[in-house]
Structure 1
Amino acid sequence: MSSDDKLRQLAQECGIHLGYDAWDGSHQATSPPTLKALLRALNVEVDTEKAIGEELRARCSRRTARTLPVEQVILAEEPFEFALTKPCEWHVLDDQGHEMQAGRSDTSLTLKPLPVGYFTLVTRGSGPCEEVFLLSRPAHAPTIADLTGLQQAWGVSGSVFALQSRTNGGLGNYADLGQAMSRIGQSGATYFGINPVHALGWAAHDTISPYSPSHRGFLNVDHIASDTQFETGTIGELIDYKAFRRQHRPALEADYERFCQNATTADRSKLQAFCKAEGLELTRFATFESTSETHGSDFRNWPSQLRKPEETAPKPRDGFHAWLQWKASNQVEAAQLCAVQSRMALGLYLDLAVGARPGGAEVWMHQDLIARGVSIGAPPDQLSPAGQSWTLAAYAPNKLSENRYEPLRTLLRKLMAQAGIIRIDHVLGLMRSFWVPEDGSPGAYVSQPFEALLAVVAIEASYNRCCVVGEDLGLVPVGFRERLKASGLYSYAVWQFEGTSDGALRSVQDLHPFTMACFGTHDTPTIRGFWRGRDIESWRSIGWLSSDEAIGLHGARAIQRNSLRQHSSIPPSATLDDVCHAIHRELGKSPAELVTVQLDDLLGSEQAQNLPGTIDEHPNWRRPTSKDVETFACVQSLNKTSNSMGSKRNPSAVLEEKEIDPCL
């Protein structure tokens, strides 16, 4: 066997794809430099031919030596049988180490039905002791019908940062979120979806994208409603994050000082209980934040003795950063309470970003589980011929499995406890991820433990009674969407992407029922922007399109508009307001169980919140809403949209309230 053959075999053993079919129909083989870069990312030694051979032999030997799998997904409340090659004694432990079952078996081992959760099967026989991690998953994640009694529902999507009020100082906060959901809930909406509110990092002064977090398991403190009133000056057409933070940060400091001096015994007990429940994760996150104040937001630039959490001593400021997370958590829970009290059956619909920044807190805290020297990205396509690197860290699937998916379990549990729905951005990453090496080698796909990850999502959703939507846009493997739906994850359909071979848009009446349907997202033009081709003009203005190319795209857009006119019965004389209402009405009549309308469409916006692929060329994440949250109840388009959704989508049942501690 040649050295390249051994390299390819080792790569396959580690889940690295030897090639993929590109968007233009060509097959792209994974080059040896890429294979080596991705193997190094998985902490596999490949510097010499001898090392490659030894690693290959060792992996094959470990795999063939086992009589049982390392992990096994089973269906909760159903028996499960393992075939045995030799007799053994065995017992099953729950996640806390308590024995659930035990026995002795000869040729087969039959487990009695287990509840939803995580367990360990331990066997002892003539050979080495073996452990099998058991993921006992429900038949499917909770559905809308399971949680609300509704067969169909609708909701609104927006962004916390964009919300405007008379008191927030220019950037939306969690109190505004509560007001917005209360008013939107009164209109009959079942949920309010927001972009991620993950922690961006106290020292990440220039970071504003919600999809570039420091840690996805903690909250963005920019959105804490301060008890200290402050002004950032006149609010302009765009949000000024730096000006806001210059006023908001001292206000939070003042709030903390008052808490330290005047907090009641009950309040101090609540904070202590929060810190105890959050445990080591919060302790280390707070230490990261404190350390970043001195050494910057990217831990890779810190002194060497501070680059590992177990070697970094706590700081005096840790208490402040832990308090910030408690404050933020209280306010998010209070916002969810506002939603439930307004008869918004599901309330918060939260977004889980693809990954965290390579130099942020999440990676610092879980370095041993992170793939080294690579970023999550996407292969070349017609919009990005060079491919994309999203500058987001990837978990190494082998390390994640060895640690029984603990970081993902913790992250999902926290997110789902706060929401009625979560959306997993780029859900294809549960099956395979496109890794881009930092050494300049072309990227390639790496398989993920798909069945185990689906099981983790379903288990955590079941624990927290939370619906899950998988953002499955783009080219996906055959059968992928069917597997998601079978597990209870809703598909995600954006109407302006639902094209036909002749360039038109297909009818939303053709959508699969187990779907969340919408016209657009934060990355696409609003309905008004789509109708007028604002996105095309944005591309032309920054030099992405020539005039001739723009003219061609405007022609293609005309075909799409005509199909929308036909599907939605839009007359030639229709105003843009009429167009928006007609499209929302047609979405409401679709078979999709969930329909989401954008707040920007309800408020008459033309520009999208984000233009993918740009940083400074477009005012991404800086557009405020055109109306204050206090006036949402008077927005005619909201009430009109509610009426057009019909009785099937307006809630007749309310989700049982969770115990929520309102914000102090």
Structure 2
Amino acid sequence: MIDAPEVEREAPSEPLVALARACGVSVEYYAIDGTQVQCSAAAIRAALTSMGLDASSDVACERTLEGLEDQEWARLVPPITVLCAGESREIPVHVIDGDPASLGLRLESGEERALEQLDRWVPPRKVGVQTLGRATFEVPGDLPLGWHVVEAETKGRRGRGYVVVTPARVTMRDDVRAHRPWGLTVQLYSLRSARSWGIGDLADLADLCALGKSRGEADFVLINPLHATEPVPPISNSPYLPTSKRYMSPLYIRVEDIPEVAYLPSQQRALLAWEAERPQRTNDTDELLDRNAIWRLKSAALEEVFLAPRSAGREALFEAFCLREGAALEDFATWCAIAEAHKGLPWPDEFDSPASPAVARWRDEHADRVLYYAWLQWICEAQLADAQATAKRAGMSIGVMIDLAVGVHPEGADAWSYQRVLAQGQSMGAPPDFYNALGQDWSIPPWQPRALEAAAYLPFRDMVRAAIRNAGALRIDHVLGMFRQWWVPEGHIPVDGVYVYVDHEALIGIIALEAERAGALVIGEDLGTVEPWVREYLHERGLLGTSITWFERHDDGAPRLPEHYRADTLAAVTTHDLPPTGAYLAGEHVRLRAELGMLGGGSIEDAQAEAERERQAFIDIMLERGWILGDYNEEDLIAGLHRWVLESPALLTGVAVTDAVGERRAQNMPGTDTEYPNWCVPVTDGNGVPVLLDDLFEHPRVRRLFRAIKHARG
């Protein structure tokens, strides 16, 4: 580990510390080596300012801290109360002292209940020129799961909030727990078929599910995030820096599967087939994926299909989709249309908010383009739903496992639409660790916890609901962000940040509720340095964790034996942020990191020696247990490592498609940008020969690995 840069850390004053702690902002934290680090006063003030709080001076901090409780009393009723099924909860209603108060509850079913006021006196409080009193009501513990509405009333005032009843634990189906399913993991864009438009798509996903079950008895397919990208080139390659997490990238649409294509005039269908041939010619090459070129061709074809007449029934379905999505879809589609019109150039200042009159006028004047981008989302959702339906028809117990990215692009659609609940002037990242002494800045705006609570967590709920609607499971990247987030203020280096704690009970509870309603599993990516209580809490709520073989080690670096893995996890040998296993075993990751200047202060010889020690430690254990024989080759080692994870008590096991075919190129090299072609590598085998989905399950290496998996599972 190289030395971290020195940061001038002015010690925070007592008033600043008091305000920070009241708002969940850290004033110190423990570094990865166990030492306590003092956060700088400047970073603390910047975080508080991003929450809309005045922390400019000690006097301001004291005044703001006193005003926080005033703000609570000024609300007639809390915007949201999140509780577990079976729990009762007290809700305060604040009125002019002496005025009457009532609180009614309307369940999702429409049933209405009057809540009982408790005989409890609370001293009144002076807020401004008013003296306010508090009436306390009890929410009973017999409410069903769901988003229920409470309505408070007093003289001349009414207010409403939500009572969200969440499951104490996400239900785990008995058949899943008994069978302990395994499945495939893949970056969908990288696995193409002969019919793909140069990139893996939703039709390929459906076929992969059907083939995975019939040829390998797989029960799920974990894919990368399908989140929306820019509407026009240049398009970001990373699936983890989308413009929106609520909506999808139309790059994944299979044009020919849209029903209206069948009714196009023959000349148009012929032209569409001709357009498809150009990107299809790249499918069986090892050339890097070119999203910009693919989208130019695919979007032109989609424009033609959009103009084709829809049947009355299809039109009704599209209208129903638009009504269900409401203002969120309208804002997203408007953003896409404006971004398309400006083609990367700065927008007029009057377009800075979706609620501005100028945006409303522009939307009316360009209604056709807004409708087009809404239509693309309808097609995306329909094709993803078809993929999940195909998986279930094929017999998969889980089906599609969707990945949910950490955040969104700071200049994207969600950042524009949800700016009131995002922390302006802040970016999420990570403090220094043994791999990156400078810390990390991910360039993604974090949720602003106070504003998100004031919005009753509805933007967060809608994002989760959209992600899980057509999936059998949801993987949450960096689930630790549901507990605390590392904020890097604008103009600061990543090491000079603060942790901001969020209401994990509310966020995890909402995830659990939406998963329960969708009948889906939830997997949290909880890798890295994690406080033990966090994993315990996730386990208590029924969320699975993640176990990656290369990270499962004891303090001395020795491999953790599979029988000592956690049971409530998705276990796998590798992940998309690591080299494929064949490359790891050959030490190619060391060579690549050396070429990219990512070895820190160590020599390549030392790194190679350490990699060989790690490799040999695994080999020795596999030889001892008879999982490989003495004359092993690379395929034997990969099969043995998958036997390793299958021998663990992990509930789910993932097998990377790249490992199955012997791929050597990594999909992503964390810490690089233009130095490595991240997220652009198509699937090839160990010889660099492209592998299409059509041939995947006939590939000799895949067949041998599947036989080994079947044998290991008994």
- Common fold by TM > 0.5: yes
Tell me the residue number matched to 1:659. none
Within a 5 Å distance, the mapping from 1:503-522 to structure 2 comes to: 503-522=557-576
Letter in 1 for 2:240: Y
Tell me the residue number matched to 2:353. 308
- Partners in 2 of 1:501 and 1:353 — Cα distance? 30
Tell me the residue number matched to 2:104. 91
User: 1:112 Cα shift?
Assistant: 4.3
Within a 5 Å distance, the mapping from 1:230-269 to structure 2 comes to: 230=276, 231-232=278-279, 233-234=281-282, 235-257=285-307, 259=308, 262-269=309-316
Tell me the residue number matched to 1:291. 338
Letter in 1 for 2:678: N
Tell me the residue number matched to 1:26. 35
Tell me the residue number matched to 2:232. 203
Cα 1:326–1:130 shift into 2, 3 Å? closer
Cα 1:593–1:640 shift into 2, 3 Å? farther
Tell me the residue number matched to 1:443. 497
For the residue of structure 2 that corresponds to 1:317, the secondary structure is: helix
TM-score of the two chains, using structure 2 as the length reference: 0.85
Q: Determine if contact 2:525/2:546 at 8 Å carries over to the other structure.
A: yes
For the residue of structure 1 that corresponds to 2:189, the secondary structure is: coil
Q: Is residue 695 of structure 2 the alignment partner of residue 631 of structure 1?
A: yes
Deviation track 1:121-150 (CA, whole Å, cap 9, x = no partner) reads 45668999886643311121132x357464
Correspondent of 1:332 among 384, 399, 402:
384
User: 1:180 Cα shift?
Assistant: 1.4
For the residue of structure 1 that corresponds to 2:105, the secondary structure is: strand
Tell me the residue number matched to 1:485. 539
User: 1:476 Cα shift?
Assistant: 1.2
Q: Determine if contact 1:154/1:649 at 8 Å carries over to the other structure.
A: no
User: 1:550 Cα shift?
Assistant: 2.1
- Partners in 2 of 1:82 and 1:641 — Cα distance? 56
User: 1:557 Cα shift?
Assistant: 1.8
Q: Is residue 322 of structure 2 the alignment partner of residue 275 of structure 1?
A: yes
Tell me the residue number matched to 1:363. 415
User: 1:563 Cα shift?
Assistant: 2.4
Q: Is residue 168 of structure 2 the alignment partner of residue 168 of structure 1?
A: no
Tell me the residue number matched to 1:463. 517
Q: Determine if contact 2:115/2:139 at 8 Å carries over to the other structure.
A: no
User: 1:368 Cα shift?
Assistant: 0.7
Cα 1:641–1:114 shift into 2, 3 Å? farther
Deviation track 1:613-652 (CA, whole Å, cap 9, x = no partner) reads 11111111111122111123323444444444459969xx
Tell me the residue number matched to 1:105. 118
- Partners in 2 of 1:239 and 1:613 — Cα distance? 20
For the residue of structure 1 that corresponds to 2:570, the secondary structure is: strand
Q: Is residue 649 of structure 2 the alignment partner of residue 591 of structure 1?
A: yes
- Partners in 2 of 1:266 and 1:128 — Cα distance? 45
Comparing 277-286 with 547-556, greater Cα deviation is found at 547-556
Cα 1:166–1:512 shift into 2, 3 Å? same
Cα 1:116–1:170 shift into 2, 3 Å? same
Cα 1:526–1:318 shift into 2, 3 Å? same
Cα 1:213–1:67 shift into 2, 3 Å? closer
Comparing 527-536 with 224-233, greater Cα deviation is found at 224-233
Deviation track 1:174-232 (CA, whole Å, cap 9, x = no partner) reads 11111111111212111000010100121351411000100001111111112333213
Q: Determine if contact 2:79/2:456 at 8 Å carries over to the other structure.
A: no
Q: Determine if contact 1:124/1:130 at 8 Å carries over to the other structure.
A: yes
- Partners in 2 of 1:110 and 1:222 — Cα distance? 47
Comparing 523-532 with 331-340, greater Cα deviation is found at 331-340
Q: Determine if contact 1:41/1:372 at 8 Å carries over to the other structure.
A: yes
For the residue of structure 2 that corresponds to 1:586, the secondary structure is: helix
Q: Determine if contact 2:87/2:141 at 8 Å carries over to the other structure.
A: yes
Deviation track 1:228-282 (CA, whole Å, cap 9, x = no partner) reads 332135444321223222322212222223x2xx322222222112111111111
Q: Determine if contact 1:588/1:644 at 8 Å carries over to the other structure.
A: no
Deviation track 1:27-81 (CA, whole Å, cap 9, x = no partner) reads 11111111111111112123344433321221144457899977543322x2525
Q: Gaps (5+ residues) in structure 1?
A: 651-664
Tell me the residue number matched to 1:59. 68
User: 1:4 Cα shift?
Assistant: 2.2
- Partners in 2 of 1:323 and 1:274 — Cα distance? 9
State the structure with more CA Rg.
Answer: 2
Q: Determine if contact 2:643/2:712 at 8 Å carries over to the other structure.
A: no
Tell me the residue number matched to 1:216. 245
User: 1:589 Cα shift?
Assistant: 1.8
Deviation track 1:549-585 (CA, whole Å, cap 9, x = no partner) reads 2222222222222222233333342111111111112
TM-score of the two chains, using structure 1 as the length reference: 0.91
Tell me the residue number matched to 2:82. 73
Cα 1:562–1:361 shift into 2, 3 Å? same
User: 1:13 Cα shift?
Assistant: 1.7
Q: Is residue 676 of structure 2 the alignment partner of residue 612 of structure 1?
A: no
Q: Determine if contact 2:237/2:291 at 8 Å carries over to the other structure.
A: yes
Q: Is residue 477 of structure 2 the alignment partner of residue 425 of structure 1?
A: yes
Q: Determine if contact 1:11/1:35 at 8 Å carries over to the other structure.
A: yes
- Partners in 2 of 1:529 and 1:648 — Cα distance? 24
Letter in 2 for 1:628: L
- Partners in 2 of 1:401 and 1:146 — Cα distance? 35
For the residue of structure 2 that corresponds to 1:135, the secondary structure is: strand
Comparing 459-468 with 540-549, greater Cα deviation is found at 540-549
For the residue of structure 2 that corresponds to 1:552, the secondary structure is: helix
Letter in 1 for 2:253: I
Correspondent of 1:189 among 196, 202, 218:
218
Within a 5 Å distance, the mapping from 1:138-153 to structure 2 comes to: 138-143=167-172, 145-146=173-174, 148=176, 150-153=178-181
The Cα RMSD (Å) is 2.7
Q: Determine if contact 1:468/1:490 at 8 Å carries over to the other structure.
A: yes
Comparing 228-237 with 169-178, greater Cα deviation is found at 228-237
Tell me the residue number matched to 1:372. 424
For the residue of structure 1 that corresponds to 2:82, the secondary structure is: strand
Letter in 2 for 1:106: D
Q: Determine if contact 1:504/1:559 at 8 Å carries over to the other structure.
A: no
Q: Is residue 632 of structure 2 the alignment partner of residue 574 of structure 1?
A: yes
For the residue of structure 2 that corresponds to 1:309, the secondary structure is: coil
For the residue of structure 2 that corresponds to 1:20, the secondary structure is: strand
Tell me the residue number matched to 2:184. 156
Q: Determine if contact 2:191/2:682 at 8 Å carries over to the other structure.
A: yes
Aligned residues: 642
Cα 1:152–1:548 shift into 2, 3 Å? same
- Partners in 1 of 2:383 and 2:77 — Cα distance? 47
Correspondent of 1:412 among 464, 469, 480:
464
Q: Determine if contact 2:567/2:651 at 8 Å carries over to the other structure.
A: yes
User: 1:97 Cα shift?
Assistant: 7.4
Cα 1:548–1:11 shift into 2, 3 Å? closer
Letter in 2 for 1:417: R
User: 1:413 Cα shift?
Assistant: 0.9
- Partners in 1 of 2:527 and 2:199 — Cα distance? 30
Q: Is residue 163 of structure 2 the alignment partner of residue 114 of structure 1?
A: no
- Partners in 1 of 2:438 and 2:177 — Cα distance? 47
Cα 1:101–1:555 shift into 2, 3 Å? farther
Comparing 421-430 with 24-33, greater Cα deviation is found at 24-33
Cα 1:271–1:63 shift into 2, 3 Å? closer
